Amino acid sequence: MDLSGVSAIVTGGASGLGGATAEALAGAGAKVAIWDLNEEKGREHAATLGGAFFPVNVSSEDSVAEALAGTVSAHGTPSVLVNCAGIAIGEKTVGKNGPHRLESYRKVLDVNLVGTFNCIRLVAVEMEKNAPQADGERGVIINTASVAAYEGQIGQAAYAASKGGVVGMTLPVARDLMNAGIRCNTIAPGIFWTPMMAGMDQKVQDALAAMVPFPKRLGRPDEFASLAMEICRNTMINGAVIRLDGAIRMQPK
């Protein structure tokens, strides 16, 4: 896809992997809309990119519909959707205080899995209205899973289930949208240095870096953004889940 002048949406674009992807898209000439719960950081980042910010809860139908209408009137029909909004919790199936809370399990699925699909389904309706580019392409959707989809660690039953759901729906969504010329792919990152990680003790960060076969460090958000840009540009990448992880295979803990 030619990104110059297209309307692009990045959920979770206020921070971390989404923040870097929003920056890369803006650098390629896209008109970027950041959709995030965090209004302060979202507005600030959108302003630095010359983009727009919309306060969004990805799991709410009304919130996404409202932001989508605002995005279409500000930037035109979206051609790119990058789903980065997500949350992580650590809770064991049976912990010291009893069984995993159903409420927290549902919440993680609601944001990471239902929220991702909510944005896909509503944005795809708009993308279908785009005039086709080369090959009849009308849009590209990129989701963010995690290597936890394959090797969830202790305490990651909810998170791994949510990301496993994102992996599982990637191909059927690509198939559902094929006649409209809309692609759907997913990136499964290993361990990346983002604000999520910044809160961790340096020792824990070093131990995580040592687990990566090569390169022996955490990933950088610009490396995630770089893959997202290649997926946007390379029309043959469709229905794929791509690990971006330095060959890490997570251990139980």
Ligand X SMILES: NC(=O)c1ccc[n+]([C@@H]2O[C@H](COP(=O)([O-])OP(=O)(O)OC[C@H]3O[C@@H](n4cnc5c(N)ncnc54)[C@H](O)[C@@H]3O)[C@@H](O)[C@H]2O)c1
Q: Which is nearer to ligand X, 59 or 77 (CB)?
A: 59
Are 89 and 146 within 8 A, CB to CB? Answer: no
* By CB under 6 A, residue 72 contacts ligand X: no
Nearer to ligand X among residue 6 and residue 244 (C-beta): 244
Of the two residues 117 and 192, which places its CB atom closer to ligand X in the complex? 192
Residue 195 interacting with ligand X (CB under 6 A): yes
Part of the chain binding ligand X (CB under 6 A), chosen from 55-63, 69-77, 97-105, 118-126: 55-63
For the question of residue 150 being annotated catalytic, the response is: no
User: Which positions from 132 through 151 interact with ligand X, judged by CB under 6 A?
Assistant: 144, 146
> Which tokens belong to 156?
């990651």
- Residue 55 identity (one-letter amino acid): P
What is the x/- site pattern for ligand X, positions 32-51, by CB under 6 A? ----xxx-------------
User: How far is it, in rounded angstroms, from Cα 16 to Cα 18?
Assistant: 6
Task: Tell whether residue 15 is a contact of ligand X (CB under 6 A).
Answer: yes
Question: Collapsing DSSP states into helix, strand and coil, what is residue 208?
Answer: helix
CB of 181 to ligand X, least distance (A): 26
Q: Which of 72, 89, 171, 196 binds ligand X (CB under 6 A)?
A: 196
Q: Are 140 and 232 in contact (CB under 8 A)?
A: yes
Q: Which residues contact 53 (CB under 8 A, 6 or more apart)?
A: 14, 33, 34, 36, 39, 42, 43, 45, 46, 47
* 77 DSSP 8-state letter: S
List, by residue number, the catalytic residues. Answer: 159
